[in-house]
Structure 1
């Protein structure tokens, strides 16, 4: 609730209640105030140079921890632990169970605590759990460690996703989500290069297998990065703690809060967690994004844990050459993801920026099904890797921009979307059956279907939001600028 404004240099300031705190906000027209815009640009620049680098690197290692099992499979993991193909698939899938269980409770809690030290503390914990993978000696221990790893890694991505949506406006968020998401894509690329180097130089060093060294080294580096993150991760804009305490001026902290208040599609007051949960689950667009994320995740991650095995089946060379060859498609995907998201923000368009790459992915899957030629299938993998991964960051930004009526609803709705999407990650490894190696025809055909559904869902949602925006524009009075849904 805004009180009667009082005089303040640079504008008029009132009080707004955020959660349990009353904070000052500028009630004047910031679009007419150059000082306000200068402060806004400064906030974005400072966050881009502090928050974004640390969370991108942490997300890279977050994903390395999860997917290193794909590279370990090419080493002696299955032999050392006496794993069958089905047991490996279960070890891959089980991580997502813990990941699903923890995400929604964590984000609900995050709306009532501060991101710093909450998020860095979880990073420290998952670093230790990941390193403990090097100690497992059988299938049961591997499943237990990976289930726990999913549980302790779960707070990071939805928490950071929510934190970014509290600092960046909808027009700014798409590119930042793509940059964050590029950490995931680069992790997949670098995983092969890192594994190649470790397996070539450390395998059986001190009697320890290369895949065990892989987890030890990644976990140790991750732990050091977690310590650094305590200094670089901010709390929410209304707070005076976290990195904003030393990073932002008092005026910038005020502008940071007002930027987000002005960016909401409608200006509802902050409500309880129960209110946010109820409105998140009853908004049909939450479930449209659930379908969209389920499908795109299913497509993108379905082949990810098996991509090293797919490339190995092409017989391009030794194990080292195979691991090196897994990197280029993902590096290309990371670059295209940033370019596409910049374009998506620039033109405030989401649906076509997702549907088009999914069409490219379909071309790649079709080529993989249609030919047995190794080099042709490797080239096809560039199409489906870049097509699938280039679009996912935009999906996250789109969901945050549409489901943002209050912080509580945004936190819970985006968690619901991310959590249920993990069902695709649990099911997808079982599409890649041992008897289908190395072409995995059944999986490729299913991925064609999922990619097509994803593109169609985007176009239908675009039409739905276009209609909603027309109603918003018609209801606007006194020439006010409408706050529209991104389409």
Structure 2
């Protein structure tokens, strides 16, 4: 850990005065951005899709036979959802610190490969304790995704581009659902045809096992591609020329984030714990992930309880891909109007309306309740809004790492609570869980508005005290957003 003298020296160096920064043309900037999009976007789209699929494969399996095969009660099944996030909780800080201590891309790749192998091993489980162990390990390994995306987004994209990129690869958590649901439907139909003699062969393994093997193998393949394609830093990018590497660094100077720092600085941890904006982010995260934890694991069970068959339920789960379009449009709009917090509000209102429809409408109106269920999934919007603030509004390498860990802890807390709102006695409507859903979204509306006014007040205060930010001062000093007088928050 560096001494206090070093930290003070860095701060004083940053305040000595502006340092000239070389310029680059608009064409050069666009060329570098396109190359980064070509390599990084597909990789992060893939790991977000597979992260969603490996996590939600359990909900497909829940209507394909795993509950019968492992003799699971509804309570035990709910704990399979919760234990995943206990693993995630345990993995939060090891993964966040691992990204600071080790080469980022190699560390991420190794974790993805192990995560895929663990997904495949689910097919070998036949008891509740075995499934609990595998789910815990899956959660531990998936805790690598958020630190990786935060780090790479801050390094490769400037503030005006970040929300759109997060919206694109974040949306693949639902686009991936089309692939998962399609595979699950195909395997389920194949099993049904074999059972009724409409097919010449019988599947060698149960359909619920086959989906874990397929998705786990696909995850391992993506992990290997990640290792060969994604660089640890801009300097290691083989797809950029020396000049393009220089431009790539200059493009993100406005982020005022120091990427290469590896020393742990405790004063930055203290600043994070005393920062009201950090706690607002954490509250938005936990309130978003309470419904997420329930819906992720009970999605198929809820739809099945509306009166649809197993195969219809699997096909209908594809329709949640509408949320991907909503995410992209929301974050594209947020980048254009330069206001992310308020851009997340419309779909949060849509989510409240949808959950209320599922909860309040009579059970015989299954189409209307299904439509409400699809609308309710818009709760994911505040989650991604919060993640973009983490990339652009938190500076200082240790502070960003620590806050990332905090976000993961609150993520896990919400996901742990979510499945427990679904109880045996409340099925098949699960009214208390849906009411919890509505309350969480309503509070998030208030928090998003609060965040907007807090950041606007902070920017106005800094302009009043220090004047307008200086564009060309020394950005290569590891300062937090609180220390850097030229730092301005994205609204």
| TM-score bin (small chain) | 0.7 to 0.9
1:77 and 2:60 matched: no
Aligned match of 1:347: 337
Find the counterpart in structure 1 of residue 223 from structure 2.
226
- The answer to whether the 8 A contact 2:286-2:414 is kept is yes
Match for 1:417 among 395, 407, 432?
407
Partner of 2:199: none
Aligned length: 451
CA contact (8 A) 1:134 1:215 kept: yes
Distance (Å, rounded) in 1 between the aligned partners of 2:151 and 2:37 = 16
Deviation per residue, 1:152-207 (Å, 9 max, x gap)? 22213322222222211222111111111112122334332221112222578444
- 1:133 maps to 2:122: yes
Partner secondary structure for residue 397 of structure 1: helix
Contact conserved, 1:365 with 1:380, CA < 8 A, in 2?
A: yes
Residue number in structure 2 paired with 1:302: 294
Give the deviation of 1:98 after TM superposition: 1.2
Partner of 1:324: 315
> Offset at 1:123?
0.8
Alpha-carbon distance between aligned partners in 1 of 2:422 and 2:411, rounded to the nearest angstrom = 19
Cα-Cα RMSD? 2.3
Of 190-199 and 338-347, deviating more is: 190-199
Q: Deviations over 1:60-82 (max 9, x none)?
A: 11221111100101011111111
The answer on whether the counterparts of 1:130 and 1:215 sit within 8 Å (CA) in structure 2 is: yes
Contact 2:355 2:376 in 1 (8 A): yes
Q: TM-score scaled by structure 1?
A: 0.87
Query: Structure 1: which 5+ runs fail to align?
Result: 1-16, 19-25
Match of 1:284 in 2: 276
Shift of the 478–212 alpha-carbon distance from structure 1 to 2, 3 Å rule, reads closer
Per the TM alignment, residue 269 of structure 1 is displaced from its structure 2 partner at its CA by 11
For the Cα contact (< 8 Å) 1:93–1:425, is it kept in 2? yes
Q: Distance in 2 between matches of 1:108 and 1:289?
A: 20
Structure 2 partner of 1:10: none
Hey, what does 2:474 align to over in structure 1? none
Q: 1:274 matched to which residue of 2? A: 265
Alignment TM-score, normalising by the size of structure 2: 0.86
Alignment partner of 1:475 is 2:475: no
Assess if the C-alpha contact under 8 Å between 1:122 and 1:156 holds in 2: no
| Of 142-151 and 218-227, the range deviating more from structure 2 | 218-227
Give 3-state SS (helix, strand or coil) of 1:326's partner. helix
Deviation at 1:395, TM superposition (A): 2.0
Change over 3 Å in CA distance of 1:407–1:211 after alignment to 2? same
1:432–1:443 Cα contact (<8 Å) kept: yes
Inter-CA distance 251–141: structure 2 relative to 1 (3 Å threshold): same
Is residue 399 of structure 1 aligned with residue 403 of structure 2? no
Query: Residue 146 of structure 2 contacts residue 404 of structure 2 at CA under 8 Å; is this kept in 1?
Result: no
1:251-271: CA deviation from partner (whole Å, max 9, x where unpaired) = 221222233333228x99958
- Secondary structure, counterpart of 2:489 in structure 1: coil
CA distance in 1, matches of 2:248, 2:398: 18
1:230-241 residue pairs with structure 2 within 5 A?
Answer: 230-237=227-234, 240-241=235-236
Gaps of 5+ in 2: 1-8, 11-17, 195-201, 472-485
SS at match of 1:300: helix
Q: Is the 8 A contact 1:287 1:417 kept in 2?
A: no
Displacement after TM superposition at 1:143 (Å): 0.2
User: Higher mean Cα deviation, 101-110 or 215-224?
Assistant: 101-110
Matched, 1:456 2:451: no
Aligned equivalent of 1:37, options 26, 45, 65: 26
Q: Is the 8 A contact 1:269 1:406 kept in 2?
A: no
Residue 357 (1) aligns with residue 337 (2):
no
- Which of 258, 277, 283 does residue 250 from structure 2 map onto? 258
Which whole-Å CA distance do the structure 2 matches of 1:152 and 1:417 have between them? Answer: 16
Decide which of 96, 120, 129 is 2:109's aligned counterpart: 120
Alpha-carbon shift at residue 402 of structure 1 (Å): 1.6
